Structure 1
Amino acid sequence: MVVPTFNEQDNVAPLVREILASLPRGTLVFEILYVDDGSTDDTLAVLHALKAKVPELRIIRHSVNAGQSAAIRTGVRAARGEWIATLDGDGQNDPADIARLCTERDRSPPEVKLFAGWRTQRRDSRSKRWASKWANALRGRLLRDDTPDTGCGMKLFERAAYLDLPAFDHMHRFLPALMQRAGWRTASVPVNHRPRTRGASKYNNLDRALVGISDLLGVAWLIKRAKFPAAEELG
């Protein structure tokens, strides 16, 4: 489990407890890797207090806030598992859905390297739902990634395949398209979504729109320029 977090002091302990309940000890080998992305509240102190009680918990801290994509990549690089599950640190993703993603992986062909959560019933404000709907429609039309929801933090992917992707800020919003560009298949899996009950959102619709357009054009360029010919070793 890789959980990027920024100023979520009130969400850390409840979410860790939920993760432990969804991945019970003794039935699965796992680690919970929290990446504190330069928090300025008591997030780090809460994590250290939990560490004494939760041996599966690992903590990495960015000295400055670098963004969600950088935090996810830091966590994936430090992780020791072959498969990585991610979820947001705000508590809106339901850790119980991890098992659903794993079940979908186990019955899928090996060329499927990414299982993306699909929030079929968003628990956000009307303006945020509208903005996401517009952004997903535009992205889908331009990138043709056949993914209804790329903004969901709940994902399961193969670590090696992820680390082979080009890294850039906000790349986490384009993982299905980037995986497909690399020659892999992806799948969308319906997951639960919950309203935020503690803390405050770190994004607004204008910020997402301004960076999203330039990122979208950049990913479209990457896809257009991709060349991955088949190769075989002859001796």
Structure 2
Amino acid sequence: MSFKFTIIIPIYNEKDNLKRLEEELLAFIQTSTITTKVLLINDGSTDESQISIESICNRNKNFSFLLFDTNYGLSTALKAGFDYTDTEFVGYIDADLQTSPKDFNSLLEHISTYDLVTGVRKNRNDGFIKKISSKIANSIRRAFTNDGMDDTGCPLKVIKTEYAKRIPMFRGLHRFLPAMILLQGGTVKQIPIQHFPRLAGTSKFGITNRLLGPLIDCFAYLWMKKKRIHYKVSKQQL
């Protein structure tokens, strides 16, 4: 089968979510009009996630995995996912299922027109502290990047793979994917999506890495933006 869409799923200590994750991904794949495969990226989990991952991949031919030797973080997992993707489009969703694979359909409707389509979490099912810290962090990023995104950290995105592979990755970059597409001259669109409470496992982000981390990363983004190499060829004879 020729696939057009790869879904990347970074996983770190999510063993209690993986069975339900498999079921929801299969439900999306069976109803989607685009041929889809799944890449599970185990970011050095210390629980029994890898046992479940290998079982899932063994019983589903369009599922595969990468296992890191230690925990590198979300941005590194996304970088690896982009590196190993060979389809026209690449998507990203968290393993905690606070967003639904079904909403990929809403994003995919626009990917032929735009180079990145991202979700915007409406009616967020998070606690007050988590919601307010994310709101502040999003405001900080918008001020630095001017990307116009209301929810740049939303863990549901679809990107044209040629753009994803050109992103110069660094730690914390998962917070700047729309801005990095805009730097390439690409186009972005945001679509309202569903948001659900976490039913199992624990969040990997707290106030420190939701507020202090994004602020530091904004300065790294500005440095990268100033120093990046970018060119367009107007004519060639090779």
TM-score, L = length of structure 2: 0.92
After superposition, the C-alpha distances for 1:191-218 in whole angstroms (9 at most, x for unaligned) are 1111000011111111332221111111
Q: Per-residue deviation at 1:234?
A: 4.0
Paired residue for 2:4?
none
Q: Does 1:63 align with 2:69?
A: yes
Paired residue for 1:161?
163
* One-letter amino acid of the structure 2 residue matched with residue 48 of structure 1: E
Output the aligned Cα RMSD: 1.6
Q: Percent identity?
A: 29
Paired residue for 2:136?
134
Aligned to 1:2, what secondary structure does the other structure show?
strand
Aligned to 2:115, what secondary structure does the other structure show?
strand
In structure 2, relative to structure 1, the CA distance for the partners of 1:165 and 1:54 (3 Å cut) is same
* One-letter amino acid of the structure 2 residue matched with residue 204 of structure 1: G
Q: Per-residue deviation at 1:28?
A: 3.5
Q: Does 1:146 align with 2:148?
A: yes
Is contact 2:8–2:78 with CA below 8 Å preserved after alignment?
A: yes
In structure 2, relative to structure 1, the CA distance for the partners of 1:45 and 1:179 (3 Å cut) is same
* One-letter amino acid of the structure 2 residue matched with residue 85 of structure 1: G
Whole-Å separation in 2 of the counterparts to 1:17 and 1:23: 10
Q: Per-residue deviation at 1:77?
A: 1.3
Q: Does 1:12 align with 2:48?
A: no
Q: Per-residue deviation at 1:166?
A: 1.0
* One-letter amino acid of the structure 2 residue matched with residue 158 of structure 1: K
Paired residue for 1:86?
92
- Counting only pairs closer than 5 Å after superposition, residues 156-235 of structure 1 correspond to structure 2 as 156-226=158-228, 228-235=230-237
Superposition misfits of 4+ residues, deviation over 6 angstroms: none
Paired residue for 2:110?
104
Whole-Å separation in 2 of the counterparts to 1:25 and 1:97: 12
Paired residue for 1:40?
46
Is contact 1:6–1:39 with CA below 8 Å preserved after alignment?
A: yes
TM-score, L = length of structure 1: 0.93
Aligned to 2:158, what secondary structure does the other structure show?
strand
Is contact 2:75–2:174 with CA below 8 Å preserved after alignment?
A: yes
Whole-Å separation in 2 of the counterparts to 1:229 and 1:31: 33
Aligned to 1:187, what secondary structure does the other structure show?
strand
Whole-Å separation in 2 of the counterparts to 1:58 and 1:97: 22
Is contact 1:181–1:226 with CA below 8 Å preserved after alignment?
A: no
After superposition, the C-alpha distances for 1:19-66 in whole angstroms (9 at most, x for unaligned) are 111121795422110000000111000111222221111011001000
Gapped regions of structure 1 (runs ≥ 5): none
